[in-house]
Every structure is written in C-alpha cells, then in structure tokens.
Structure 1
C-alpha cells in the first residue's frame, strides 16, 4: 500500500546539477514567450501529437483498464495537479517511455516492451519517472531542445537568402503569431542578431545582406553551443526524474531492477539475475573508471546522447537513496494512506 505524497517541489528533490541549469532558465523573463514562439513557429510539435494519436494504442479505462488504473494510481500517489496525462502505448520491444506536450495536454508514451517485460511495480517506477519530468518543468525545455536542430537548419536557410530571409521571418511571424511588434522583432533578433530596418538603396542592401549572413552564422554557432549545453542538462534531468520514479514505486529494489532490465538484461535471465549483482556492477564501474582521465572520456562519449548510461543512473539514484533524502522526503510529504 503506497504512501501518498503531497506538495512535491523540484527544489526539494531535484538533482543539484539539474537545478543549477533549470532554475536560471525558469527565471529568464522571456523564457515562457520563447517556448511559446517555438511551439507556434514549428508545427512539428502538433505533427508529432497527431502522429502519436493516429499510430499508437490509446490507454483508456475502457480499452485497457488495468494499465489505466496503474497510471492513475501513480497520479494519485504523487498528488499530481491538473488533469491526468493522456497515455499511449507504442510498438517496440525495447523498454522505454517519453512525454510530449501540446498547448492543452501532456502525453505519456510507454513501449509494448515496457508493458510486457516489466512488473506492475516496475511500470509504476517508469510512469513515475515521466511524472517526474512533468512535475519538474522539464518537458517544455525538452521540446525546445528537440526542435533546436530544426531551428538551426531553418536559420541557415534564411541566412543564405540574406535580407530576403529577414522578410520571410517577418512574414511568418506576422501570419502565425498574433502578438505585438516587439515579439516579431525578437524573432528577427533571434535569427539575425539584431533588427534590420527597411533598405534605402542597393549598397545598403548589400551591406545589410552581408551583416545578416555573418550574424546568422554566429547564431548557428550559438545554437550549436546551446544544443550541447541543453543536451547535458537533458541527461542530468533523468537523475531527477528517477527520484520521482522511486517515490512512485517506493521500493529501491524495484527501481534498480527496472534500470537493470532497461540496460539490456535478457528476458531469459529475469528470474536468475539479482539487483545485488547489478549494484555490484555499479560500484565496480565507479571504482575502475572513476579517475579524472576516464571521467573526461565518459563526458566526451556522451556529448550527443540524450540519456545517461544506465549504470550511472543507478549509481546516482542509489546515492540519493542511501543519503537518507528519499526517506526524509517520503515521511515529510506523506498524506493518509491510499486504500
């Protein structure tokens, strides 16, 4: 019987490196508007949602009552505010889950491999992990990261067009965003570094075109650097989400067995493999590859990854659990037992 938890705040359970990046992002005044601009400018977000709803199995109380009840149980355990996210199942043997968001709803997607290969309690950890991203405010920034490469390609195309590109951006902004002139200027500023006024003659047009190309290239470099930094944050955010997964299933062995299976444990050995041996692997990895040089190599290897290695996730979660932070939060946030 799960303890019900209330008033979860990312400042209390978030991984320190996650908060170090996430907190200033949230405090930037233009952040909300920037996120909205990306959602409006890049209809791929809507396209992804439509593809999701058209291609995958919708988990409802009528169509899949046991799985729906399990998801709702986690929703209640964590005292999630707002509507229950919409759940879908995606065909795939691997164990995976992810969260999408449009302007109205959150969508949590699990693979068939996750449903078929995990126990009910392990699925609670996985669903809780996705709720962790939702509670922490990760999802909007993850969407931003997902579409930054697309933004970069679009910017590159516009820089090739010079000042014609500026007019294209202005037209798109006017047609797709019912907002103030200030917002339109911010879009053009984002792409070309500064606002370009109307052209008076061919020589000034050429100079402005060259300026547009130069600043556009600088923007591409800046976007690339932003992608690298956001990728690192995205990996770290998994550590925070795992903590909420643990608070959802409320059993460290269940949480670690989920990570163990996700790491590649063959289904044939599910009954014989032990969490104790996986913990031993985690500790040995830290002992053998914990030096400064190996740490640099690990960071280089993961530059383009969107998730940290499973062994590192297990190590981070185990460290948080053994620090006593899990028990303190569970006891401090406990509400009456769910019957």
Structure 2
C-alpha cells in the first residue's frame, strides 16, 4: 500500500493532550529550566554514540538497504529532517529508543527486524521519529538518568536532596509516559495501518511466536476496555496508579485504546487528509489544532475565542 506523504505536518496536529498537559506541569516546576540547561551541557550523548558506534551495527543503504529505505520513507512522511542515524542492537525484546540532543540517533533491537512485519516495524520507527519531531529527547534522557542523579544527591545531602529529586523524577516519568501517546500517533501516521500498530503492541506484550499467525486485534481491544473498567473501582484505580508511578511507559492496552479512540474520533483521518494543514492555532484547553473560523474546539468542545 502506498503511504501518503504528509506535507507540512506539524507535531501539534497529532500531539496527545495528555502529553501537552504533563509537559506544561513539568515546566512549571521551579528551577527545572536550570536543571535542563545543565543536563544538556553535561549530557552523556557523546558516550552513548561512542558505545553504539563501537558495539552495534549502523544502518546505511549499503548494508541494510530495505531498513534504510523504511527509515527514509518514515522521515519523508512525517517531515523529520535531517534523517537520524539508525543502529541495530542485539536483543530479542521488541524495543527501540531515541537519544542524542545535538545529533539524535535511533537504536532498534534486532527482534524488531526478525519478529515484526514491515508495517509493524514502520510503526516502531515512526514512533521514535515522533519523539524527535516533538523534541522529547532531552527530557527523555533526563527521565532515564535522573534516578542515578537523585541517588548521588541523597548521599551528598543526608537524604534531603533525594526527597526533592524524587518529586522531580515522578513528574519526569509521568510526562515520559504521556509523551508515548504522542509518539504512538506519529507511529501510526508513519505506517498508516491501524491493525499493524495494534499487532506490534500485541507482540510486545508477550505473544509467543507460534501464535503470530492468529493475532486477534479485536480481543486485545476488548481487553483494553476491561482494563478501563478498573477505574470504576477506587481500589483498582489506586492500584493502577501506584503500580505505574515509577514506570516510563504506559500500559500497552491503554496505548492501543488511545490510538483506537483517536481513529474513531476521525482525528487520524483528518491528519492523513491534511485537514489541519492550514491550522495555525491550538485549543487552549486540549491543544488540539483549530481553525481561525472555529467557534468550538472539534476535540474537547470548549468555546474558542481567538483575539
């Protein structure tokens, strides 16, 4: 299937409102801007690039032309330039990550190549490109390394620094989880195949390879609905929050559910059909793209007043 190139795509056309809300709360923390600047100044980016250049395989059009073409196609669809470097790391977990603030690069596990279809792999690559397009990488690096910084601060300040660091760490991790919903939308825009996006999550959730020929997306969506119903019980809802508070990724079924809601609301199609292309404003309540002529936000329904 030929995929549409989304000319002029801007991240705000598809960014999840939970991502925007969590980031705004994160940025409101006093002193965070100083921490961000210092973190960027002393980033471990050079060490990471050296590590993967020395121990992993760098993809190019000579050694892995098909995979390189997938990366180029996803970059063209989403409008991510310059094209980031791509490395393959030996690991049969279906996983990937993006790092590097000055020179961003993507690392994918070898399991993605062997265990996923082309569209499923495009979803993963597009997901990582979504982090780049929305400029998530610096905060993601902070979230991954901050626990170690907090431990050092705690030892240096008799535990007081650790208390402060823990609060910031929780805020960073919450935003990191919310940012995944935005990146998932970018992944779907890149692969343009909802079933492939869902089946990638099903495989990541632990589906044995012997059952790969009988993936049931409908059953997984039903499981997501069952999971959502846990919120009706105060105890179950509290358990969900406590279990997830120190995680940097949201629940897989919730991610599929949010993608499904985005599609059912017609917002995915609107982006694909470039209905938001000329939008230059965002709803102040949910950050959804709006037109100058909109009186009400098409996403959250709030009345819009554009000066």
- TM-score in terms of structure 2 length: 0.82
User: Which residue does 2:6 correspond to in 1?
Assistant: 5
Contact 1:132 1:245 in 2 (8 A): yes
Classify 1:112/1:326 alpha carbon distance in 2 versus 1 (closer, same or farther; 3 Å): same
Pairing 1:148-167 to 2, within 5 Å after superposition: 148-159=146-157
Q: Quote how far apart the aligned CAs of 1:68 are.
A: 0.4
Q: Quote how far apart the aligned CAs of 1:264 are.
A: 0.8
Contact 2:22 2:174 in 1 (8 A): no
More displaced, 252-261 or 280-289? Answer: 280-289
For residue 112 of structure 2, the aligned residue among 108, 111, 114 is: 114
- Once the two structures are superposed, residues 106-146 of structure 1 have per-residue CA deviations (whole angstroms, 9 ceiling, x without a partner) of 11111111110001111110000001111111111011122
Classify 1:76/1:27 alpha carbon distance in 2 versus 1 (closer, same or farther; 3 Å): farther
User: Which residue does 1:96 correspond to in 2?
Assistant: 95
Contact 1:96 1:114 in 2 (8 A): yes
Taking the aligned partners of 2:145 and 2:10, their CA distance within structure 1 comes to 27
User: Which residue does 1:280 correspond to in 2?
Assistant: 222
More helix as a share of residues = 1
Contact 1:6 1:333 in 2 (8 A): no
Contact 2:154 2:163 in 1 (8 A): no
Q: Quote how far apart the aligned CAs of 1:97 are.
A: 0.7
User: Which residue does 2:138 correspond to in 1?
Assistant: 140
Aligned length: 276
Taking the aligned partners of 2:186 and 2:3, their CA distance within structure 1 comes to 14
Taking the aligned partners of 2:162 and 2:29, their CA distance within structure 1 comes to 21
Contact 1:4 1:334 in 2 (8 A): no
Q: Quote how far apart the aligned CAs of 1:289 are.
A: 5.7
Structure 1: runs of 5+ lacking an equivalent: 161-216
Pairing 1:1-339 to 2, within 5 Å after superposition: 1-23=2-24, 34-41=35-42, 44-80=44-80, 82-103=81-102, 105-159=103-157, 217-287=159-229, 290-332=232-274
Q: Helix, strand or coil for the counterpart of 1:307?
A: coil
Q: Greater Rg, structure 1 or structure 2? A: 1
- Once the two structures are superposed, residues 133-162 of structure 1 have per-residue CA deviations (whole angstroms, 9 ceiling, x without a partner) of 1111111101112222232233334436xx
Taking the aligned partners of 2:28 and 2:132, their CA distance within structure 1 comes to 18
Classify 1:75/1:333 alpha carbon distance in 2 versus 1 (closer, same or farther; 3 Å): farther
Contact 2:154 2:160 in 1 (8 A): no
Classify 1:38/1:277 alpha carbon distance in 2 versus 1 (closer, same or farther; 3 Å): same
Taking the aligned partners of 1:27 and 1:331, their CA distance within structure 2 comes to 35
Contact 2:140 2:176 in 1 (8 A): yes
Q: Quote how far apart the aligned CAs of 1:94 are.
A: 1.1
Contact 2:26 2:171 in 1 (8 A): no
What's the RMSD between the two structures over aligned residues? 2.3
User: Which residue does 2:303 correspond to in 1?
Assistant: none
Q: Quote how far apart the aligned CAs of 1:40 are.
A: 3.1
Higher relative contact order (CA 8 A, sep 6+): 1
Q: Helix, strand or coil for the counterpart of 2:61?
A: coil
Q: Quote how far apart the aligned CAs of 1:90 are.
A: 0.8
Q: Helix, strand or coil for the counterpart of 1:332?
A: coil
More displaced, 145-154 or 221-230? Answer: 145-154
Taking the aligned partners of 1:27 and 1:3, their CA distance within structure 2 comes to 38
Taking the aligned partners of 1:31 and 1:84, their CA distance within structure 2 comes to 30
Q: Quote how far apart the aligned CAs of 1:229 are.
A: 1.4
- TM-score in terms of structure 1 length: 0.75
Structure 2: runs of 5+ lacking an equivalent: 278-307
Q: Helix, strand or coil for the counterpart of 1:327?
A: helix
Q: Helix, strand or coil for the counterpart of 2:180?
A: helix
